[in-house]
């Protein structure tokens, strides 16, 4: 079973690299959104996407590292907010 499209000649010579670049950008966007809403879900997703993008050798390495950092920051913001509010969730 093949999970990705087969490699063909022409412009689509590296679909795995293109996928990794997309994952890096998605990781950055989800990490950024996670600072505002749903950080318990978006933080781990951003971390996972950044790790996979880096593992696949993305050309957007800085974006993937930023997504990884923002994903960790999402979880840190959640932990701090939970500690301050003494609940299992937080609100503004």
The encoded tokens of residue 66 equal 């930023």
Is the CA virtual torsion 89, 24, 68, 56 positive or negative?
A: positive
pLDDT in tens, the chain (92 residues): 556 655 555 555 466 667 888 999 999 999 999 998 888 999 999 999 999 999 988 888 999 999 999 999 999 998 988 888 877 666 65
- Indicate the DSSP class of residue 38: -
Residue ranges in the chain assigned as alpha helix (H): 15-34, 39-55, 61-85
Q: Kindly tell me the burial class for residue 77, based on how many C-beta atoms sit within 10 Å of its own C-beta (0-12, 13-18, 19 or more).
A: middle
**CB contact burial 67-76 (16+ within 10 A = b; e otherwise):** bbbbbbbbbe
């Amino acid at each position: 079973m093949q999970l990705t499209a087969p490699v063909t000649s022409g412009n689509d010579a590296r679909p795995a690299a293109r996928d990794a670049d997309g994952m890096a950008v998605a990781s950055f966007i989800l990490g950024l959104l996670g600072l505002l809403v749903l950080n318990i879900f978006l933080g781990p997703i951003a971390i996972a996407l950044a790790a996979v993008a880096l593992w696949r050798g993305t050309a957007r390495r800085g974006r993937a590292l930023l997504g990884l950092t923002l994903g960790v920051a999402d979880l840190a913001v959640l932990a701090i907010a939970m500690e301050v509010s003494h609940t299992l969730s937080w609100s503004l």
